[in-house]
Amino acid sequence: MKIILNPFLLLLIFLATHTRAQDAEPFFPWEHENPELFFEHTEPQPVRTPVKTAVFQPWMPVVQLPPNLDVHFVSPEPIQYVDISAKNIIGDLPLKNVLRIRYKDSAKAEDAVITIAGEKFIAQYHIRPGGTNVPLQINIEPSDTKPLDISGIGLSQNQLRQLSLNLFCKSTSKTIERTKAFGLKASLYHVYTAGDYIFLDVGYHNKTNLNYAIDAFHFRIDDKKISKATNVQSLEFSPEYTLFGTPMFQKNYRNIFVLKKLSFPGNKVLHIELHEKQISGRVITLEISYRDILGADNTPL
């Protein structure tokens, strides 16, 4: 079937289309009131570095730090770890259980968080800038700490000291081992165990009129019987804790020595050797058998 188009009809369609195109206004985005709505903004934006700020918790004790003064934290046990969140605060450990902090010279005084960890605790403090009329010594109280369970550390120095003091208060009317030499008498009064530790209560009596200036104690595990000097097997070690120092004594001296739990065969003995400072150099050796260690009493932690 053939389609015949009327020339007059084609002319009418052309005129109508051309008139509608002229009436329509052309649209250009740059002539709009807000051209940013139609064009993507390409100016480079500055990169903002996130600022790290300390997180201050409401339960943290607040400590005020003056600009030109030091604040000292006194710990009940040796300090193992310290973290200061602000770079404008410096600190050091003048003693094993004392932390000293202060603001750097000409540094801006800002808030910070200080974390202190001992052998068995961890504590955090909120540091704020303060005036001169503030406490400069902060005792780390148990209420400010949380328990810290680190495997392998065992008892803290503070716990060993308290247990040793309890043992020191016991009577010395009976002795387990004793020996005499150079007018001196050495005695083993008590043997106790607590956890992985052995507590030895040892005393000395000087019968002479010469003062005894202690040079050092030596702890060794030796063979009970020595046949040849070339075959001697000796293991020397140091105590984990000693209650008192090693001063000079005139008549009596007593101390508590704490050893890590040890075991040795029946053909060996534990020797505690006391040396006097030169020139005299008197030496007395107290012998403790493994049977004495096995017979130790338990002390409650």
Give the model confidence (pLDDT) of 211-224 as tens digits.
999 999 999 998 87
Report the pLDDT value the prediction gives residue 124, as an integer from 0 to 100: 95
β-pair partners for 227: none
Phi and psi torsions of 103, nearest 5°: -75, 145
Query: Which is more confident, 40 or 8?
Result: 8
Weakest-pLDDT range from 6-20, 78-92, 190-204, 281-295: 6-20
- Residue from 72, 73, 64, 71 nearest 109 by CA: 64
Domains of the chain, residue spans: 62-153, 161-298
How distant, in Å, are the alpha carbons of 145, 175, 214, 235 from that of 284?
45, 17, 11, 18
| Rounded Cα distance, 169 and 205, in Å | 18
Average pLDDT over residues 78-101: 93
Residue 168 has pLDDT above 90, yes or no: yes
Report the pLDDT value the prediction gives residue 235, as an integer from 0 to 100: 87
To the question of domain 62-153 being in CATH 2.60.40, the answer is: yes
- Let me know the angle formed at the C-alpha of 286 by 283 and 289, rounded to the nearest 5 degrees: 150
To the question of domain 161-298 being in CATH 2.60.40.1150, the answer is: yes
Let me know if the fold of 62-153 is the same as that of 161-298: yes
Q: List pLDDT tens digits, range 242-276.
A: 999 888 899 999 999 999 888 777 788 999 999 99
Query: Which is more confident, 117 or 148?
Result: 117
| b/e per residue 20-49 (b: at least 16 CB within 10 A) | eeeeeeeeeeeeeeeeeeeeeeeeeeeeee
pTM of full prediction above 0.75: no
Residue 115 has pLDDT above 80, yes or no: yes
Q: List pLDDT tens digits, range 45-80.
A: 555 545 455 567 888 999 999 988 999 999 988 999
In the numeric block, the tokens 């605060």 are attached to 89
- Residue from 206, 209, 190 nearest 198 by CA: 190
Report the pLDDT value the prediction gives residue 233, as an integer from 0 to 100: 72
In the numeric block, the tokens 């949380």 are attached to 146
Report the pLDDT value the prediction gives residue 127, as an integer from 0 to 100: 94
**Mean of per-residue pLDDT scores for the chain:** 82
Weakest-pLDDT range from 17-26, 108-117, 231-240, 272-281: 17-26
Report the pLDDT value the prediction gives residue 227, as an integer from 0 to 100: 55
Query: Which stretch, 25-34, 150-159, 209-218, 227-236, has highest mean pLDDT?
Result: 209-218
Report the pLDDT value the prediction gives residue 226, as an integer from 0 to 100: 63
